[in-house]
C-alpha cells in the first residue's frame, strides 16, 4: 500500500494532506523518517509515527472507552458534548461509532468501532450480547424487586413483557442487572416498571468484556479481541 493511502486509511486526512505530512518530515515508518509518500509499505504489524506520536496500523479501529457522565453517544449531540470528543482526531476522522448508546448521565464501558459488521453483531438484538449494569436506586429494595425484573415487566409501547437475564441486589439501594436488549432507557424503565427508580447507572461489562479498573473516566484504549 502506498504510504499516503495508508495514512489516509488511518484518519490522517485526505490523500493530498497525507502527502503533505510526509513531504514536511512529520512521518516516520518503523522508526525511519519517511520521504516518499508513494513508497510501498506493507501494513502488516506496521508501527508508524506522525508528529512523534506512535500508531499501529489497523484495518479496523475498535476500542473501549470509560464514558463519563455528561456526554452524548452521537456525532450530532443536542444538549451535551459528543463522546467522540474524548478521542484523538485520527480516530474520529476514520469514522468510529459507538456500539449502541449510553444515556448522557450513564457512565461505564462503551465500545466504539469503524467495523460496521462488528457494530451490528454487538448491538443487534438477534445476537443477544449481554450487558451488565450497576444501578443505584432511589428507594430501598428487597428481593421482590429482582423477582419482578426476572419475571418480566411491561414497558410502554412494547408488545410483551421484558425480563432481565440476571439480577442481584448487592445492597438496599444497589442493583446489578444484566439485559440482552438495548432499548431506549431500558434499565431505567424496567426498574420504574418494577416499582423503584434509578438514580445513577453504570455499565460494567459487555459480554465477557469487563471495564478495566485502571481505565479512568474519559480514557480509552485499543480493544484486541471481540467480547462474547
Write the CA distances from 193 to 57, 152, 187, 196, integer angstroms: 47, 10, 10, 7
Helix-helix angle 186-193:143-151, to 10 degrees: 120
What sign does the CA torsion over 100, 103, 106, 112 have? positive
Helix (H), strand (E), coil (C) string for 140-161: CCCHHHHHHHHHCECCCCCCCC
The grid coordinates listed for 147 are: 423477582
> Residue 45 catalytic?
no
Task: Report how far residue 196's alpha carbon sits from residue 51's, in angstroms, rounded to the nearest whole number.
Answer: 52
Residue of 36, 103, 208, 214 with catalytic role = 103
3 state SS of 42: coil
Give the contacts of 80 (CB within 8 A, at least 6 positions apart).
70, 71, 72, 104
CB contact at 8 A, 112 and 121 = no
Which of the residues are catalytic?
103
Amino acid at each position: 500500500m502506498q504510504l499516503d493511502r495508508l495514512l489516509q486509511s488511518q484518519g490522517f486526512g485526505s490523500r493530498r494532506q497525507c502527502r503533505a505530512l510526509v513531504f514536511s518530515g512529520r512521518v516516520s515508518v518503523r522508526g525511519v523518517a519517511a520521504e516518499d509518500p508513494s513508497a510501498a509499505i506493507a501494513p502488516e504489524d506496521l508501527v508508524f509515527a506522525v508528529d512523534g506520536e506512535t500508531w499501529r496500523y489497523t484495518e479496523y479501529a475498535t476500542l473501549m472507552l470509560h464514558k463519563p457522565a455528561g456526554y452524548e453517544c452521537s456525532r450530532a449531540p443536542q444538549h451535551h458534548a459528543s463522546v467522540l470528543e474524548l478521542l484523538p482526531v485520527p480516530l474520529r476522522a476514520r469514522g468510529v461509532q459507538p456500539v449502541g448508546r449510553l444515556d448522557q448521565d450513564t457512565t461505564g464501558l462503551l465500545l466504539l468501532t469503524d467495523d460496521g459488521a462488528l457494530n451490528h453483531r454487538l448491538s443487534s438484538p438477534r445476537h443477544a450480547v449481554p450487558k451488565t449494569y450497576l444501578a443505584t436506586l432511589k428507594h430501598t429494595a428487597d428481593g421482590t424487586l429482582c423477582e419482578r425484573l426476572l419475571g418480566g415487566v411491561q414497558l410502554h409501547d412494547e408488545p410483551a413483557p421484558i425480563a432481565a437475564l440476571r439480577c442481584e441486589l448487592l445492597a438496599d439501594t444497589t442493583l446489578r442487572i444484566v439485559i440482552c436488549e438495548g432499548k431506549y432507557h431500558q434499565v431505567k424503565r424496567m426498574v420504574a416498571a418494577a416499582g423503584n427508580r434509578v438514580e445513577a447507572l453504570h455499565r460494567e461489562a459487555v459480554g465477557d468484556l469487563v471495564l478495566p479498573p485502571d481505565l479512568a473516566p474519559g480514557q480509552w484504549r485499543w480493544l484486541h479481541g471481540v467480547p462474547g
